Structures are given as structure tokens and as C-alpha cells.
């Protein structure tokens, strides 16, 4: 399988690269991204062949169908990372919350967020590639709250890899911050940034594309890669759980094989939604992908109006901080697939130069063939969390944004899968508030929700508050590069 570039080729880079190159060096020509030249086929025969498959079996076969240039034994070992999830026999349980609505719980890994689904195996694969080549890599990650902890967890103490993780100071939950700043492995560096997630992600993408920065790393015999979903190594693992969700519905006899379903995906950087799109394009019977956002609803405007306009917006901090994003990287991969490289380059350059772009009527129609979108503010999400808590189901604020899309956007009477991207424990003060007890302190909120809602707090969350803070650096975005070089 070869990977090509979303903005076309600059004549300096190869016109296509294998999977290993795309994940080790994820920055493509003109600042673009890598995408697969083609996709495996998820036809009825393929799906029926995996009706009784374990998640790891499905994942291994899908990766082999993709034809990636990673040895089978490496993939087998990488997928064993799922054995450390709450239930190794089913790392992604599906819970029914309405007659026609099911929640795919993606958060049962070590950092209690959906990023573990991709980053646990991806980290092992990338580390083994580096070791095989005898190379040393700096892995950069910018996080709005969940990518950071998952990246640090998967790469800690791995040979051939150092990690620099950027997070917006004040822009994550306390639990998310503690998951990062208490990591004590010597190959990890966590840097707080005065700014928001877009500031950290823009810096990461600029450094990935910077010849000067790469030259400074080369002097130290270090190469550069990234763990954000700009890296397709993340996306390939995020396609798999959408297939699994569909098969789970068939196994539960909630749908017949071949019956179409809706997916509702809470979205910030659009990687989870992109995985769903690729699954749909490959043949998974999906009617439409419904995107839910918080009040930073730029994706809603893009999908419903074709407008992507940063000039009229200021990022707002919300109770669902992982979606406090205005520049969603993976939108670019969708536009490449729909409109081609030349138009994608034009649109992305317009965004960089003017802070906005507008899709044509025909382009918007193409986008809406696969997507629809809505958004919810914090007050609505609090009401949703409270409503479902009374029914015995506790969800986090990101998952709560999905329920408006479920209730208002479906045009057909079809079963629906909502993706829950984080455990409630990462946002306990807002969950506690939703249940009628307002408190700012995470420790008190965790205890109160656990007692009053009858849900347990996993030991990896409880233990955070006893660990010493190792990483206390907070810098202006202009100082990030120097801080990374000092670390190296």
C-alpha cells in the first residue's frame, strides 16, 4: 500500500511512500498530509468472516488487508497492548442506552480515553521501526487533553524514542494535566504552553515542516515524527473500532447483516470521524456520519454551510475541552478525497492566508452525502448527563454532545452508534455539577459521583493525586522549540 499527498507533490519528496515512511515522517509536500492511495474492501463476505472474531483478530486482518509494510510479528505484539484494557476479551464494549441507540465505549484503556485505541499499538509499531533502523526519533504531540496522556503512556521507556508533549496551560481538565505532568520516564518531556490547543498544534505542524529544526535535530542524529492524528499511523487504528461496532450490533441481533446504521462522533481534530469516513468508503453499511461539537462549532458551519472561517471566532474554553479546537487537521484529508489535491491545496492556502475559505455549492453537496452536524453548549450537555444518570448511565461531557445529533439529525429510523471518547472520571467536576453537586476540586468530585451514582473510580485515576509533579515548565509558544532542544 502506497500513501500519497493531500496537496500534491513538490518535486522534492517522493510521489508516494509506504506506510512506514508515512508514519515516521508524516509531513508531506506543501505542508500537507499523507493519505492511502486506496482502501481495503469491507464487503459482506469480509464482515461475515469476522462475526466471531476477537477484536485483535479483526484488527490484524484489517491491517494485513491494508498491505502495510510492517512485519506480522510486530503487529501481533502491538495488538497485545489491548490485553491491558479492562476486559481483554472485549476492549470496546457496546452499551445500549435507548431502543435504537448504543454507546461504543472507547475509553477502557490505561489513560481512560479513546486515544489509547490507536496510540497503544501505534507507539509499539513506531518504536520497533526506529529500533530496526537504528534511528532515534523525537515524537512531538500537541494535545487538547487526551492525546498527550495516551502518547506519553505508550512511548514511556521505549528505546529509540523521546517524546515532547505540548498542552495548553489551563485548557485541559485537572486529571488530564496530572496524567501528563506526573509522568517520570526519562525519555518524556511535557511542556505547558501559554495559549490554546490551536497554538500548540500550529507550532507542532510548523516544526514538522521546518528544515531548520530538522537540521538542528540531524546534528544530534535525531529524526522527527508526530503522534497527533496528522500521523496516519493513528488513523489506521481508528478505522477498526467502527467495523467492530457494526459487528457488535449484528452479534447482539440488533441489526441484520447489511443493514445501514448511523454513527455519531464527537469531534475536535476530526481523526475519529475520518476513521468512520474511511470505513464507510471501504463498504461498511453506514447511512451517515453525524458530527457533534461543543460551542466551538466550526465543524458544524463547515458541514452545514461549507464555511470554514476563523476570522470571526475566538476559541472558547468549555466543559468538553478535547473539542476546544478551531483548526481541525483531518478536515484536509476529507477534502482531498472529495475535491482532489489541487483544490485542497488552494483551500488550505486560503485558510493560512485569509483565515477562511468557502466551499462551492457542489462541493458542499458532496460533503453532505456522508456528513451532517450539530452542536451543544455546556448547559445542554449538563442536562443530558443528568438525564442519563437518572437512567443509570454516566457519560462524560464530550459524549453528551452526541445526543442532540442522535435526536435531531437522523432522517431514517435506523440503529445508531454513539462514540464515547472519554471516561467520566477525566471530567468529574462537570459531571458532578450535572448531577446537582457543584464542586471545583477533582478529588471531591470523583468521590461524590462515585458514591451517589454507584460507579467506581479506576486505580490509575485515584493514584494520580498522590504522584509528584515532574514537569512544571510553562512557556510562551515562541519558546517551545528551544525548550525541546534543551530537553534533547
Q: Which residue has the cell 470571526?
A: 312
Q: Is 449 exposed, middle or buried (0-12, 13-18, 19+ CB in 10 A)?
A: buried
pLDDT band at 77 (very low <50, low <70, confident <90, very high): very high
Looking at residue 197, its pLDDT comes to 86
Domain at 393, CATH number: 3.40.50.1100
- Cell numbers describing residue 219: 546534528
Residue 48 lies in a domain: no
Mean pLDDT, the chain, integer: 95
- Cell numbers describing residue 1: 500500500
Q: Which residue has the cell 461543543?
A: 294
- Residue range 356-381: mean pLDDT, rounded: 98
Residue 444 lies in a domain: yes
- Residue range 310-321: mean pLDDT, rounded: 93
Quick check: 432 pLDDT over 90? yes
Q: How far is CA 448 from CA 150, 390, 391, 453, 484, in A?
A: 26, 15, 18, 8, 40
Quick check: 248 pLDDT over 90? yes
d(CA 340, CA 333): 10
Of all residues in the chain, what percent carry a pLDDT higher than 90? 90
Residue 372 lies in a domain: yes
Q: Write out pLDDT tens, residues 116-139.
A: 999 999 999 999 999 999 999 999
Residue 334 lies in a domain: yes
Q: How far apart are the first and last CA of the chain?
A: 34
Looking at residue 119, its pLDDT comes to 95
Decide if 202 contacts 172 (C-beta within 8 A): no
Quick check: 216 pLDDT over 90? yes
- Residue range 278-299: mean pLDDT, rounded: 98
- Residue range 87-93: mean pLDDT, rounded: 96
Structural domains counted in the chain: 1
Q: Supply the DSSP symbol for 166.
A: E
Looking at residue 257, its pLDDT comes to 98
d(CA 284, CA 287): 9
Quick check: 145 pLDDT over 90? no
Looking at residue 205, its pLDDT comes to 84
Looking at residue 201, its pLDDT comes to 85
Residue 447 lies in a domain: yes
Among 78-82, 366-370, 440-444, the range scoring the smallest mean pLDDT is: 440-444
Q: Write out pLDDT tens, residues 326-347.
A: 999 999 999 999 999 999 999 9
Q: Write out pLDDT tens, residues 14-66.
A: 999 999 999 999 989 999 999 999 999 999 999 999 999 999 999 999 999 99
Residue 475 has φ and ψ, to the nearest 5°, of: -130, 165
Quick check: 440 pLDDT over 90? no
Quick check: 203 pLDDT over 90? no
Residue 355 lies in a domain: yes
Quick check: 144 pLDDT over 90? no
Residue 414 lies in a domain: yes
Residue 312 lies in a domain: yes
Looking at residue 229, its pLDDT comes to 87
pLDDT band at 107 (very low <50, low <70, confident <90, very high): very high
Looking at residue 228, its pLDDT comes to 84
- Residue range 266-289: mean pLDDT, rounded: 97
- Name the residue range of residue 398's domain: 80-112+233-457
Identify the CA nearest to 376 among candidates 318, 445, 439. Answer: 318
Amino acid at each position: 500500500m502506497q500513501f500519497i499527498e493531500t496537496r500534491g507533490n513538490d518535486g522534492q519528496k517522493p510521489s508516494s511512500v509506504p506506510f512506514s515512511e508515512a508514519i515516521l515522517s508524516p509531513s508531506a509536500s506543501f505542508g500537507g498530509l499523507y493519505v492511502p492511495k486506496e482502501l481495503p474492501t469491507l464487503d459482506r463476505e469480509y464482515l461475515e468472516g469476522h462475526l466471531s472474531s476477537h477484536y485483535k483478530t479483526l484488527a490484524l486482518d484489517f491491517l494485513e488487508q491494508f498491505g502495510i509494510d510492517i512485519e506480522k510479528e510486530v503487529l501481533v505484539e502491538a495488538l497485545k497492548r489491548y490485553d491491558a484494557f479492562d476486559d481483554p476479551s472485549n476492549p470496546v464494549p457496546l452499551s445500549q442506552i435507548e431502543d435504537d441507540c448504543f454507546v461504543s465505549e472507547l475509553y477502557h484503556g490505561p489513560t481512560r480515553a479513546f486515544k489509547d485505541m490507536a496510540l497503544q499499538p501505534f507507539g509499539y509499531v513506531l518504536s520497533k521501526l526506529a529500533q530496526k533502523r537504528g534511528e532515534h526519533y523525537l515524537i512531538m504531540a500537541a494535545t487538547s487533553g487526551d492525546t498527550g496522556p495516551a502518547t506519553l503512556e505508550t512511548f514511556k521507556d521505549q528505546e529509540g524514542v523521546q517524546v515532547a508533549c505540548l498542552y495548553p496551560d489551563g485548557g485541559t481538565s485537572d486529571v488530564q494535566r496530572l496524567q501528563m505532568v506526573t509522568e517520570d520516564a526519562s525519555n518524556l518531556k511535557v511542556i505547558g504552553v501559554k495559549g490554546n490547543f490551536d497554538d500548540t498544534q500550529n507550532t507542532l505542524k510548523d516544526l514538522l515542516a521546518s528544515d531548520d529544526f530538522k537540521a538542528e535535530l540531524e546534528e544530534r542524529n535525531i529524526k522527527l515524527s508526530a503522534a497527533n492524528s496528522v500521523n496516519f499511523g493513528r488513523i489506521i487504528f481508528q478505522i477498526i473500532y467502527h467495523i467492530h461496532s457494526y459487528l457488535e450490533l449484528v452479534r447482539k441481533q440488533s441489526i441484520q447483516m447489511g443493514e445501514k446504521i448511523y454513527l455519531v462522533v464527537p469531534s475536535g481534530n476530526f481523526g475519529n470521524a475520518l476513521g468512520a469516513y474511511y470505513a464507510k468508503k471501504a463498504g461498511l453499511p453506514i447511512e451517515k456520519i453525524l458530527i457533534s461539537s461543543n460551542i466551538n462549532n466550526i465543524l458544524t458551519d463547515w458541514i452545514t454551510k461549507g464555511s470554514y472561517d476563523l476570522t470571526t471566532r475566538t476559541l472558547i474554553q468549555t466543559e468538553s475541552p478535547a473539542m476546544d479546537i478551531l483548526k481541525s487537521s483531518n478536515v484536509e484529508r476529507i477534502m482531498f478525497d472529495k475535491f482532489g489535491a489541487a483544490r485542497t491545496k488552494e483551500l488550505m492556502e486560503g485558510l493560512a492566508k485569509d483565515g477562511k475559505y468557502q466551499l462551492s455549492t457542489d462541493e458542499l453537496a458532496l460533503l453532505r452525502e456522508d456528513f451532517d452536524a450539530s452542536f451543544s453548549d455546556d448547559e445542554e450537555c449538563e442536562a443530558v448527563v443528568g438525564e442519563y444518570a437518572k437512567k443509570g448511565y454516566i457519560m462524560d461531557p464530550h459524549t453528551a454532545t452526541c445526543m442532540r445529533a442522535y435526536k435531531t439529525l437522523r432522517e431514517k429510523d435506523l440503529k445508531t452508534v454513539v462514540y464515547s471518547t472519554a471516561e467520566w472520571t477525566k471530567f468529574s467536576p462537570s459531571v458532578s455539577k450535572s448531577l446537582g453537586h457543584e464542586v471545583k476540586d477533582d478529588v471531591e468530585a470523583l468521590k461524590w459521583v462515585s458514591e451517589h451514582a454507584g460507579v467506581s473510580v479506576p486505580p490509575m485515576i485515584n493514584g494520580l493525586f498522590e504522584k509528584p509533579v515532574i514537569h512544571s515548565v510553562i512557556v510562551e509558544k515562541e519558546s517551545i522549540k528551544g525548550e525541546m532542544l534543551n530537553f534533547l
